[in-house]
Amino acid sequence: MALFPELAKHQNAQERLDDMDGRSVEMVRRWRDYEAATWRRARQRLRELPRAIATEVRRKWQTRYCPGSACYLADMVHCARDGANAKLTDDEERANDAPLGTVT
């Protein structure tokens, strides 16, 4: 028995489990909403890029080595928009993709 039972949020184990289930469902819903919003923002920003840059981002996305999630697309678009994703030669790209600790 709790030291202060009047302050207990749940009166029994089933109430506690039901509450945990409800919070879990809500957390997953919020995560899905956030992920969907990130996809929408990333695609909108991709459409706002100049055609040549957008084409390059799409090409890189199709040949990517990163997970196909919204945050990776958003970052790729952000880097292209800000010019941080400068055009590299194929040799430079392969060197960047080498495992850590590899000397090329």
Q: Total structural domains in the chain?
A: 1
The DSSP call for residue 67 is -
Q: Where are the beta strands (DSSP E) in the chain?
A: none
Residue 102 falls inside a structural domain? no
Instruction: Tell whether 45 is covered by a domain.
Output: yes
Could you tell me if residue 23 is inside a domain? yes
Q: Indicate the range of 3-12, 16-25, 84-93 predicted with least confidence.
A: 84-93
CA distance 46 to 77: 6
Q: Considering the domain boundaries, does residue 15 fall inside one?
A: yes
Q: What is the pLDDT of residue 67?
A: 86
pLDDT of 75 over the 60 cut:
yes
User: Does residue 76 fall inside a structural domain?
Assistant: yes
- The residue ranking higher by pLDDT, 68 or 85, is 68
- DSSP 8-class letter at 65: S
Residue 104 is assigned to a structural domain of this protein: no
Within a domain: 5: no
Distances (CA, A) of 98 to 80, 101, 103: 22, 8, 8
Taken in order 71, 72, 74, 78, the sign of the CA dihedral is positive
Asked if residue 4 belongs to a domain, the reply is: no
Contact yes or no for 68/39 (Cβ under 8 A):
no
Cα separation, 101 vs 95, whole angstroms: 11
Query: What's the token pair of residue 96?
Result: 């960047």
Which of residues 29 and 17 earns the better pLDDT score?
29
Average pLDDT (60-89) is 81
Q: Which residue has the higher pLDDT, 92 or 58?
A: 58
What range does the domain containing 26 cover?
11-97
Structure token digits, residue 53: 């840059």
